[in-house]
Amino acid sequence: MSRIARATPLLVLGLAVALVLVVLLAVGIGSVQVPLADTWHIVLAHLTGSGQVDDLVADQIVWRIRLPRVLLAALCGAGLAVAGVVLQALVANPLADPYVLGVSSGSSLGAALVFTLGAGALGGLGVSSAAFLGAMIAVALVFALGQRRGRLAPTRLVLAGVAVGYLFSAATSYVQLSAAPNELRLLMFWLLGSVAGAQWSQLSIVAVVVVASVLLLVLYGRRLNALLTGDESAAALGVDVRKLRIGLLLLASLLTGTLIAVSGGIGFVGLMIPHLVRLVVGSDHRRVLPVAALFGAVYLVLVDLISRTVDSPNELPLGIFTAAFGAPFFLWLLRRNKSVG
Amino acid sequence: MELNLERVCVRIEGRPILSDVVLSVPEGSFVGLVGPNGSGKSTLLRTVYRSLKPSSGVVRVGPDDVWQMSARVAAQRTAAVLQDASATVGLTVAEVVALGRTPHLGLFDRESAVDGDVVTESMDRTGVLAFADRAFSTLSGGERQRVLLARALAQQPRLLVLDEPTNHLDVRARFELLDLIGELGTTTFAVLHDLDLAVRSCDQLVVLDAGAIAAAGPVLAALTPVVLREVFGVAASVERHADGVVRITYEAKPLAD
């Protein structure tokens, strides 16, 4: 076993601890500061269902307002990073991100319609539902156009994704032009991603989808590795390439669609985190997937913290910061690593 | 294990690529598949390692139809060394070879100590153990082929198929690789582009021309001057020399009319 393979369990453990700390820290910071120890007590009291909470205001802020949003940020970060890893492997393209199959353009149109025309536009659907519906329609279209006699060819799929993306973007732009300024601001905010609207009620669905997806994908890690060596080679290793690709593309689309429905189009995380993680732990998916999930979670919790504190009490969209902080770091890492290019 | 193709036909988009191919690779033998570019050699191989389903006909490895088995069971019997593996980015040599255990492990299985031993032994047999931790992409062509052969061995196959394994290798690496394959003793079926190497190393040859078998049998019987002229378009003869090695001699004007 190589050095990095032996070090990975330690890295995973370290990131898991870091995630817990960052979550507690983020929950405590804001217009009302809550000390780390108090945050810990409040969360523990709720989790165990016992214990006294003395400070009811702090309890409201920590448990009702901040924790759902911080957890949603963590889930989105983990989900997007993992979706990025898998899509890059499935379409054999390093430029692929979770939105490569048109998910974001479809959901943007769905959201734009509801923001500008109101819930009546799509039969009473809210923004999240409309975004999810739009995402699934776009993906279905890309799948239909990207297949040829039942085979999904990666290049064709990516091109279909690009074409469908432009088509939906054109429609979204048209809708945007007819929107009132205040609607446009809301829509802009949504398009750049935000977890400000997090609620406990939707969190459980997102958590189930993200956790189940990550576990399932880790199980398929060995087969994804086989796919890295090419379709023919994977077939010779006993992998049913066609079934694997369709199944995992559907899973990744469902995952991305769910995330974008609750958080909008958070960019960069799903493109760069996978590359960043590979630079550190190599390409074996059984290492890349868990590390990417945890790293993505930590990263987005921090980014969300910045987005709501840097210009407090105003909030800024996540999409601005994910790239503003991530890109320089990624470029630095890229220059340090001699094995790339 | 024995390989048998029974009247295998492949049509792609209505165009016939292989028509009524019948061939047999006996247990323990090394059979070469030769033919001009575009004669369907790689396509034929794809039907064997279960990548392309024949339009009709049966491919048997041992007594069983490959296309009636699951992909995984088929890969427990047949391993392939292919040409397209250069895209392997970021995996180390040991990781690439460990992929050979894929067909033996289910979704929930973890690699056991036995799997680890098989991987190490495979690397040892092909002489790549020394660079187990190096990135696959940093290796030379000859080293890569030996790694891919180790991966195939890690599958513990009963049948080994190879698609132009000596392509892009320098001359020493070609001989090394074919020696290595010859020593394995596994039933081997290889597409070989290089006729000189094919006549030298193989027990039998199958000559494919425009998707049909033009000749088959022991090397000297299969590659007659007539076949060389009509299939390959060269004027040449194949003889067993005094040292026991079979060689091709091309005539002064090697282009046949």
- pLDDT of res. B163: 94
- Looking at residues A41-47, what average pLDDT do you find? 88
- Looking at residues A101-112, what average pLDDT do you find? 90
Residues ≥6 apart with Cβ < 8 Å to A28 = A34, A35, A36, A38, A39, A62
Domain extents for chain B? 88-156
- Looking at residues A285-314, what average pLDDT do you find? 92
Instruction: From chain B, pick out residues whose CB is under 8 angstroms from the CB of A225.
Output: 91, 95, 99
- Kindly tell me if the per-residue pLDDT of A1 is higher than 60: no
- pLDDT of res. B85: 60
List the structure tokens of B169: 């290798």
CA distance A148 to A153: 7
Q: Which residue of B has its CA nearest to A240?
A: B71
- Looking at residues B98-126, what average pLDDT do you find? 92
- Kindly tell me if the per-residue pLDDT of A298 is higher than 50: yes
Going along chain A from its start, the domains and CATH numbers come out as 3-336 (1.10.3470.10)
List the structure tokens of B170: 């320098």
What share of chain B in percent tops pLDDT 90? 76
- Kindly tell me if the per-residue pLDDT of A236 is higher than 60: yes
CA distance A276 to A293: 12
- pLDDT of res. A326: 79
Q: What is the pLDDT of residues B42-99, one digit of tens each?
A: 999 999 999 999 999 999 999 999 999 999 999 999 999 998 665 556 889 999 999 9
- pLDDT of res. B88: 59
CA distance A259 to A243: 24
Question: How high does pLDDT run on average in chain A?
Answer: 88
Q: Inspect the interface and report whether the beta carbons of A282 and B71 lie closer than 8 Å.
A: no
Q: What is the pLDDT of residues A22-32, one digit of tens each?
A: 999 999 998 88
State the smallest CA–CA distance between residue A274 and chain B in angstroms: 13
CA distance A197 to A191: 14
What share of chain B in percent tops pLDDT 70? 98
- Kindly tell me if the per-residue pLDDT of A61 is higher than 60: yes
- For residue A19, name the pLDDT band (cuts at 50, 70, 90): very high
CA distance A249 to B129: 36
- pLDDT of res. A336: 73
Is A91 an interface residue toward B (CB < 8 Å)? no
Question: How high does pLDDT run on average in chain B?
Answer: 92
- Kindly tell me if the per-residue pLDDT of B145 is higher than 50: yes
Instruction: List residues bridging with B21 in a β-sheet.
Output: B8
List the structure tokens of A159: 């091109």
Q: Inspect the interface and report whether the beta carbons of A238 and B103 lie closer than 8 Å.
A: yes
- pLDDT of res. A337: 65
Lowest mean pLDDT among A9-18, A37-46, B51-60, B203-212: A37-46
- Kindly tell me if the per-residue pLDDT of B5 is higher than 50: yes
What share of chain A in percent tops pLDDT 90? 45
- pLDDT of res. A162: 92
List the structure tokens of A104: 């974001």
Lowest mean pLDDT among A78-82, A182-186, B146-150, B233-237: A182-186
Least CB–CB distance from B135: residue in A220, A229, A339 = A339
Lowest mean pLDDT among A116-125, A190-199, B127-136, B231-240: A116-125
- Kindly tell me if the per-residue pLDDT of B170 is higher than 70: yes
Q: Inspect the interface and report whether the beta carbons of A238 and B71 lie closer than 8 Å.
A: yes
Instruction: From chain A, pick out residues whose CB is under 8 angstroms from the CB of B96.
Output: 229
- pLDDT of res. A341: 44
- pLDDT of res. A185: 86
